[in-house]
Structure 1
Amino acid sequence: MRTDRGAAGMAMIVSEPAGAVIALDFDGTLSPIVADPSAAWIHPAAPAALIRLAEHVARIVVITGRPPSTAIALGDTPDGPDLIDVPGLLILGHYGLERWEGGQLSAPPAPAGLDLVRNELPALIAALGPAADGVKIEDKGRAVAVHTRNCADPDGTLEALREPVALLAGRAELVVEPGRKVLELRGPGMDKGRALREVLAEVSARSVMFIGDDLGDLAAFAAVIEADIPGVRVCSGSAEVAELAESADVVVDGPPGVVALLEALHKSMTSRDQ
């Protein structure tokens, strides 16, 4: 544990788990970052770890930029339980715009500006010439993401796209969410911090842990601090996003480290009761 605040938050979660909310990002946290986003399958041990924790805590929440349906599909494991088997699971997709709970999905209409993005983004990318080779457009339904991970120069291509993508987003009345080799155009007014704050208020949480890996998770880290309850900010470590690690109370080694942390947390809770 790197901070006294984090140590106090962990102690509260272990001593009074019934008041705790455990919230997690999906990509890079429960699943690895891979070249093809459609192949980012959940760590095979993660659903079982979450199921065990769900027996003790107030709420398990996945807050993701993905649609909930995608998180559910990628939450399947070849053996053992799947993400959807976690009791009382809440999935907040598109940074909280979509809510999946108990098999039911609720969401507002998709932003109208996405049609403009879909029409103009391919030409915008093509204008980069050979540098655009390997760029992937991911249509998430309520957002459109531009991935550069498969380019010869991922960082250079991402930088070249920042300004034209921002201009297109402005015309479409959308915002740009930067991430690990990705720029996502989505509707304004919601982020992971707001989504987390709403869940904490909904369940009258007495403690919180949020686990993330990317720049979009900084808002949730801020919400942990602003909640005025004991909390722990966990970074699923990556050299690509140093800002998040610098703000974290705990840094773990990617999805395997996240699973190990969840398992250790459950062990601490159950050993306390024995």
Structure 2
Amino acid sequence: MSELDPTLADALASFGADDAVLLVALDFDGTLAPLVDDPTTSTMTPAARDAVDTLATTTADHVLLAFVSGRDLDDLALRAEPPVGSYLVGSHGAQTGHATADGLEAVPLELTAEQAEALATLRHDLDAAVEGRDGAWVQHKPSAVVLHTRQAGTEDTHAAIAAADAAAARLGLEAMHGKDVVEIAVVHTSKGLALDRLRDVVAHDVPGPDGATRRVRVLYAGDDTTDETAFAVLRPGDVGIKVGHGDTVAAHRVADADDVATVLRHLVTATAAP
């Protein structure tokens, strides 16, 4: 994408048109980094990396950056290499932190005894669900268990997903279905809830004159079904960008990570301080 869709370009121009605090919140996998079979090898495209770093260094006084992901917080920090000052939201909002010059500063996550027991049960049940199912595997996170089926065959995928859904139902928990993943968390959260909380945090962190609360305007970009909850909480003046194919409530769409990079580069110009 060498040029933006005119409606998106207009939205970006309006995005920075007043004195609101600007928050650019970005999903990682599928948005800044292409989806890959092995998530431990995921990395931003060169164009996305350059655009993120440019946005962070040239607009730091008036644009704040956040990474919002289903990855656990430590893994997100490792893969995203966030610029200093960035907000980080991991595990769909269950974990939060901040990138400092000394590394990741994380808010401690504490589970109740009931949540810890449910997590142990989920780990046991999902580990059992993938036994003998080639390509299906389970990831243990601090507050969730994730079934990965990207490399599994159709029959094994259906069986493993059914088992995961049943495990969640037995515990009265929600199974979040994404692209080739099913995540079951013992902490009630979503990217939408996380984005609402993050908006409040930013408003507190960047007060207006005399301590007055300033409006926070949000640009959110994401590719997965789990990002739809974030798009759903956007407000007038915010910008939602769906990356790739699929149904969405976002007002705008781009094709891939390099297109997201184009958006970020355009945003640098559109929000340049006078």
For the aligned pair, the TM-score class normalised by the smaller chain equals: 0.7 to 0.9
Correspondence for 1:161: 160
Correspondence for 1:23: 25
Gaps of 5+ in 1: 76-82
Correspondence for 1:200: 199
Contact 1:212 1:234 survives alignment (8 Å) = yes
> For the residues of structure 2 that align with 1:36 and 1:163, how far apart are their CA atoms?
23
Give the C-alpha shift of residue 267 in structure 1.
2.4
Q: TM-score, normalised by structure 2?
A: 0.81
Structure 1 residues 57 and 67: alpha-carbon distance in aligned structure 2, compared to 1, 3 A threshold? farther
In the TM superposition, 1:213-228 aligns within 5 A as 213-224=223-234, 227=235
Contact 2:12 2:270 survives alignment (8 Å) = no
* Higher helix fraction (1 or 2): 1
- Quick one: which amino acid aligns to residue 260 of structure 1? T
Contact 2:126 2:163 survives alignment (8 Å) = no
Structure 1 residues 206 and 123: alpha-carbon distance in aligned structure 2, compared to 1, 3 A threshold? closer
- Quick one: which amino acid aligns to residue 40 of structure 1? S
Gaps of 5+ in 2: 204-213
> For the residues of structure 1 that align with 2:185 and 2:265, how far apart are their CA atoms?
34
Contact 2:23 2:217 survives alignment (8 Å) = yes
- Quick one: which amino acid aligns to residue 148 of structure 1? T
2:247 aligned with 1:243: yes
In the TM superposition, 1:48-67 aligns within 5 A as 48-54=50-56, 55-67=60-72
- Quick one: which amino acid aligns to residue 190 of structure 1? T
- Secondary structure of residue in 1 paired with 2:176: strand
Give the C-alpha shift of residue 141 in structure 1.
2.7
2:150 aligned with 1:149: yes
Give the C-alpha shift of residue 219 in structure 1.
0.4
Give the C-alpha shift of residue 231 in structure 1.
1.1
> For the residues of structure 1 that align with 2:19 and 2:219, how far apart are their CA atoms?
11
Contact 2:136 2:160 survives alignment (8 Å) = no
Answer with 255-264 or 212-221: which moved more. Answer: 255-264
> For the residues of structure 1 that align with 2:221 and 2:11, how far apart are their CA atoms?
13
What number of residue pairs does the alignment pair up?
A: 249
Calculate percent identity across the aligned residue pairs: 27
Structure 1 residues 50 and 205: alpha-carbon distance in aligned structure 2, compared to 1, 3 A threshold? farther
Q: CA RMSD in A?
A: 2.4
Contact 1:174 1:188 survives alignment (8 Å) = no
- Secondary structure of residue in 2 paired with 1:15: coil
Write the deviation string for residues 103-151 of structure 1: whole angstroms up to 9, x where unpaired: 311133243212112212232233xx6xx22112122232211111112
* Stretches of 4+ aligned residues off by more than 4 angstroms: 1-4, 6-9
Correspondence for 1:211: 221
Structure 1 residues 174 and 109: alpha-carbon distance in aligned structure 2, compared to 1, 3 A threshold? farther
Correspondence for 1:92: 89
Q: TM-score, normalised by structure 1?
A: 0.81
- Secondary structure of residue in 1 paired with 2:160: helix
- Secondary structure of residue in 2 paired with 1:251: strand
Write the deviation string for residues 207-253 of structure 1: whole angstroms up to 9, x where unpaired: 211000001100000011xx3x4011111114xxx123xx2222212
Correspondence for 1:78: none
